[in-house]
Structure 1
Amino acid sequence: MDFLSDDMRRDPYPFYAQAREHFPVLHEPGADLWLLFDYDSVKRALNDHEAFSNIVETSSGQTPDWLVFSDPPRHSKLRAIVMRAFTPKSIASLEPRVRELSHELLAPALERGELDLVADFAAPLPVMVIAEMIGIPIADRRRFLAWSDVIMLLSYTLSGGDAAARAVEQHARVKEEMRLYLRELAAERRKAPKDDLLTRLVEAEVDGERLTEDELLGFFQLLLSAGTETTTNLISNAILSFLEHPEQLARLRAEPGLLPSAIEEVLRYRTPVQLAFRKTKRDVELNGQQVPEGKLVLPLLGSANRDATKFRDAESFDITRDPNPHIAFGHGIHFCLGASLSRLEGRVALTHLLETLKDFRRTSDAPWVPRKALHVLGPASLPLRFEPVRRAAAGA
């Protein structure tokens, strides 16, 4: 099987179903890595920190020095810092601004009756939100988006070869651009603090010490990638799912209160981030297979979320699904710290799209092209045509 082919990345689920039935724990000898397909194995790899480490290496070297690739106790200290910006109160306070940005992005498309859902809306919205949270000037948004694209290409280190070498080289160059940019911005915050995440990071201390420049840069890169890509794919995958299941869309339009449940089902059915990275700390037995110590392990979240032993009618898209114990945002101490923000952005964006776009459909029947990052599920582009909903003027 070519795991990197466009066909596989558009729809890996038939293969996942075969794997769960016949080889739920699979050794891939070429890259010497282990793939986990069933729900229980995936959840254990995410949660068992005695057996699995987040400090991993690929054929192209060690992963970036980010929070997500760290273990306790360092992980606990660093996560506590950034969690100060992701409290329920602070996330809820963002809703009016997310709504404003959504309207700002969608307004030009309403005149045309068409848009590229990804380029015009789903990709820039979360980038604009996270940029404002950090404290990035509006004028630098385009650069911010370009950096995010380069960071996501680090997933090619899994494949090895020329693609991996290019991704590492490109990231090294962009990393220095980001370092210089962040150094200047951090210096400004030390002189004149603001009510933003960058100020909180600059002023934060771990065991009485301020964060180093490398730790600041690690936070910056993580927020730039993880803080945007999941939401982009959540929005795009929701619209794809509604297009493929018009009866579910009709039910949602009739019962808008089902939107939170629909979002959870999109996260399960078309999981935005398909896999995680772990390394075995010791020999581990999973499904009768012995995974040796020191091996790269890929828990496949997308496969786990279609496991029929955990989900009734697992291959069906059901916006009323309850219970829905999906693990699209991970599990345990590395549970995605931006999950509540992603859900908020998804709810605001989809509410706006469904209220504003009537009879939306794809402009072409050609298969959509997957996004560049290998570990995510979603389209790189999704051109749509629609009938804009015309609202009566106030007092008419």
Structure 2
Amino acid sequence: MSLPEAHSSEPSLTAHILNDPLNPFPWYRVMRERYPVYYSREFHSWFITRYSDVQRVISDPLLFSSEQSIRARPTNKIQPTTRPLLWTDPPRHRQLRSLINQAFTPRTIANLAPRITEIVHAHLDQVAARGQMDVVSDLANPLPIIVIAELLGIPIQDQQRFKHWSDIIVSPARQQKKQAVIEMNNYFQMVVDQRRQHAQDDLISALLSAHIEGTYLTDAEILSFCRLLLVAGHETSTNLIGNALLTFDEHPEAFEELQSRPELLPGAIEEVVRYRTPIQRLRRATTVDTQLGEHHIKAGEIVSPILGAANRDETQFSAPEVFDIHRNPNRHIGFGHGIHFCIGSSLARLETKIALEILLSRFTSLRRIPDVPLQHVTSSFVYGVKSLPMTFRERQ
């Protein structure tokens, strides 16, 4: 195995990234400049940090396999029929995505806008008189959980269980993670069995009826998509909303401009995705011996493309450390690239846009409470804060 010459310095690099998870960006820059292809003994993985290399890895499923990256885990017990869409390679990935797209359509997402608006207003109504709120717990967390639960046809009394499962699955707690997956699978299997007997106007019923040339999704494939939608949809939207408000607080001039020109919000959201990418790191495995940069990577080894590092690559973005809501073009890869482009990205964008539009229209002088320390979400993949208390004034 060919390792970087400065491999002995790994503890300083890895430790700084892990010990300062809310500001890994200076270390990403060091890695791009000095160790763009870098083996981490702690993660048993090659860290890939330059935009061109990251894009290559996530765009070539034949050479960098999602499926084999799961098989490579020594404790993995996932059977081939239960692999989620995220960890499936072509040709089955293409079939699965086509079937899921029949139920999870752009129209389905667009039709959620009135309900999303209603949920946001309801949650802001609860805090308006107080003059302060925790953006995460009062809005960014409950919003996507409610939307996804209703989309799947899950009753309101079970929604907190969903949040609990989602938080555990993205955490490093392996034993609890296995138990959460089991509990979630049992729950979704119960719902699938009910919908098979009595179809309703929800996504699970639509997934059961989706087919191509007589091929239907198996129960295991439906369960895995429900898990993926719950976890990825919740974590992406929650952290995108939180990251946006945190970044706007750090750049009040941008926030003021958005209040006067809300039509700039879509571009501002894309810049938040680039600047504070909600999902920082992915996982792939090489299918054959390959060369990345100056390093030879053997077949079967794990590579970790770091989206958060690629999105600040100086060769791709002008002044990448500057938050610029007018950035154009903005070819970030915060939602991935190629066949695994995030299937829930349109939902995350819609929820974030509506949430921010309403916040901008209802409140002014949104400011983070400075003496409350920020705590990073407990995950080596997800970027966000656990809590974001802010004060505000309600518009008259």
Shorter-chain TM-score above 0.5: yes
| C-alpha contact (below 8 Å) 1:31/1:59 kept by paired residues | no
SS at match of 1:150: helix
Instruction: Say which of 55, 59, 68 aligns to 1:47.
Output: 59
Q: Does 1:10 align with 2:26?
A: no
SS at match of 1:131: helix
Instruction: Say which of 127, 134, 149 aligns to 2:145.
Output: 127
| C-alpha contact (below 8 Å) 1:63/1:69 kept by paired residues | no
Partner of 2:352: 346
SS at match of 2:366: strand
Kindly report the root-mean-square deviation, in angstroms, between the aligned alpha carbons of the 2 structures: 1.8
1:145-224 correspondence runs (5 A): 145-153=163-171, 156=172, 167-205=173-211, 208-224=214-230
| C-alpha contact (below 8 Å) 1:46/1:331 kept by paired residues | yes
In structure 2, how many angstroms separate the alpha carbons of the residues matched to 1:6 and 1:370?
11
TM-score by length of 2: 0.91
Partner of 1:22: 34
Partner of 1:393: none
Partner of 1:61: 75
Partner of 2:125: 107
| C-alpha contact (below 8 Å) 2:16/2:24 kept by paired residues | no
SS at match of 1:222: helix
SS at match of 1:61: coil
In structure 2, how many angstroms separate the alpha carbons of the residues matched to 1:13 and 1:290?
26
The alpha-carbon deviation at position 240 of structure 1 amounts to 0.8
SS at match of 1:26: strand
In structure 2, relative to structure 1, the CA distance for the partners of 1:349 and 1:374 (3 Å cut) is same
Partner of 2:371: 365
One-letter code aligned to 1:44: R
Instruction: Say which of 102, 108, 124 aligns to 1:84.
Output: 102
In structure 2, how many angstroms separate the alpha carbons of the residues matched to 1:101 and 1:85?
23
One-letter code aligned to 1:132: E
Q: Does 1:387 align with 2:390?
A: no
Percent identical pairs in the alignment equals 43
The alpha-carbon deviation at position 353 of structure 1 amounts to 1.2
SS at match of 1:9: coil
Partner of 1:231: 237
Moved more, 79-88 or 194-203: 79-88
| C-alpha contact (below 8 Å) 1:118/1:236 kept by paired residues | yes
One-letter code aligned to 2:368: R
Partner of 2:91: 73
Partner of 1:95: 113
In structure 2, relative to structure 1, the CA distance for the partners of 1:31 and 1:265 (3 Å cut) is closer
In structure 1, how many angstroms separate the alpha carbons of the residues matched to 2:342 and 2:16?
25
The alpha-carbon deviation at position 209 of structure 1 amounts to 4.7
Partner of 1:286: 292
The alpha-carbon deviation at position 336 of structure 1 amounts to 0.5
One-letter code aligned to 2:122: E
One-letter code aligned to 1:25: V
SS at match of 2:371: coil
One-letter code aligned to 1:314: P
In structure 2, relative to structure 1, the CA distance for the partners of 1:3 and 1:213 (3 Å cut) is farther
In structure 1, how many angstroms separate the alpha carbons of the residues matched to 2:338 and 2:100?
17
TM-score by length of 1: 0.91
One-letter code aligned to 1:48: D
SS at match of 1:10: coil
Instruction: Say which of 322, 325, 332 aligns to 2:331.
Output: 325
Partner of 2:135: 117
Partner of 1:142: 160
Moved more, 182-191 or 206-215: 206-215
| C-alpha contact (below 8 Å) 1:66/1:222 kept by paired residues | yes
Moved more, 19-28 or 63-72: 63-72
Partner of 1:160: none
In structure 2, how many angstroms separate the alpha carbons of the residues matched to 1:30 and 1:372?
17
In structure 2, how many angstroms separate the alpha carbons of the residues matched to 1:293 and 1:66?
23
1:276-315 correspondence runs (5 A): 276-315=282-321
Partner of 1:245: 251
| C-alpha contact (below 8 Å) 1:358/1:388 kept by paired residues | yes
The alpha-carbon deviation at position 208 of structure 1 amounts to 3.4
One-letter code aligned to 1:369: Q
In structure 2, how many angstroms separate the alpha carbons of the residues matched to 1:384 and 1:108?
15
SS at match of 2:32: helix
